Structure 1
Amino acid sequence: MSIRNKIKNFFAMDDEYEYIEESVEYSEPERNIKRDNVVTLKSIEKTNSRVVLCEPRTYNEVQDIADNIINRRAVVINLQRTDHQQAKHIIDFLSGTVYALNGKMQKLGSQTFLCVPDNVDVTGSISDSLLEEEINKGW
């Protein structure tokens, strides 16, 4: 071999290249991977948003109302047909339930309340004129 060929081979200036085909296999990603901050659209479709309307007459019915909140349903409670003292106990019990679930409780009217778990967003507010009437009544 001449020096010219040796230099040419050393710097790889010849046009002979060796091609190697590599096959790359792609696998489909798993769809049931749970991530803390990612929600799949399928899980959104499966959630049933329900609003339950309750009109308890005694304190004994408060457990059924609390079970609806625990099952992640919004509950509207009308206390117009309930004794004032029992209505206070019902509100105390439900406010503890809502607090334990990181939910919210909002007054809608003179004796009407909304209890929602943490998966329900409530926007807007009721006018302050109702609050003045309620202060006079002792709610």
Structure 2
Amino acid sequence: MGIKSKFKRFFELDDETYELETYEEEEPEQYEEERTSVKKTGNVVSLQSVQQNVKVILVEPRVYSEVQDIADQLKSHRAIAMNLQRVPHDQARRIVDFLSGTVYAIGGDIQKIGEHTFLCTPENVDVSGKISEVLDDDY
């Protein structure tokens, strides 16, 4: 036998076919293993646990003594939109000071959204955007 025939035998098509068949047989098993491992390690998150009911309470206190009820609402993770038009200026300042401390204690935020209107939010409520004060009295 010459070198040519030995060379042909070495690269026979039968050997390649065997390797391909062996690979094809292993592939479905490997796919099954990957599929089962994904099922075992996959994380499932319930949408009910992510979704929370966030309520906004509208309040219009008339005296300072109502501020404790407002603070209790904030502690219950409810946002407060507060109108202070009907409260004397000195009591309105005390209410804002008290609620600023409450909001700080629970990790929330307080924002002025109007001349006499404030938005108090607990830590589970994110507020985005900004309301600028209008300098003209035309509106």
TM-score (norm 1): 0.63
Query: What SS does the aligned partner of 1:62 have?
Result: helix
Point out 4+ residue stretches in structure 1 off by more than 2 angstroms.
39-42
Residue matched to 2:68: 63
Alignment of 1:1-139 (within 5 A): 40-45=46-51, 47-129=52-134
Alpha-carbon distance in 1 for matches of 2:46, 2:77: 19
Q: Which stretches in structure 1 are left out of the alignment for 5+ residues?
A: 1-27, 32-38, 134-139
Query: What SS does the aligned partner of 2:74 have?
Result: helix
Give the fraction of aligned pairs with identical amino acids, expressed as a percent: 55
The count of residues paired between Structure 1 and Structure 2 equals 101
Alpha-carbon distance in 1 for matches of 2:60, 2:112: 15
Kindly report the root-mean-square deviation, in angstroms, between the aligned alpha carbons of the 2 structures: 2.8
Query: Bigger radius of gyration, 1 or 2?
Result: 2
Alpha-carbon distance in 2 for matches of 1:85, 1:97: 19
Using the TM superposition, name which of 83-92 and 120-129 deviates more. 120-129
Alpha-carbon distance in 1 for matches of 2:114, 2:133: 11
Alpha-carbon distance in 1 for matches of 2:104, 2:81: 16
Contact 2:79–2:121 (Cα < 8 Å) also in 1: yes
Which structure has greater helix proportion?
Answer: 2
Deviation at 1:40, TM superposition (A): 4.6
Deviation per CA, 1:30-75, whole angstroms, max 9, x where unpaired? x9xxxxxxx7522234x22100000000000000100111000110
Query: What SS does the aligned partner of 1:121 have?
Result: coil
Q: Which stretches in structure 2 are left out of the alignment for 5+ residues?
A: 1-39
Deviation at 1:127, TM superposition (A): 1.0
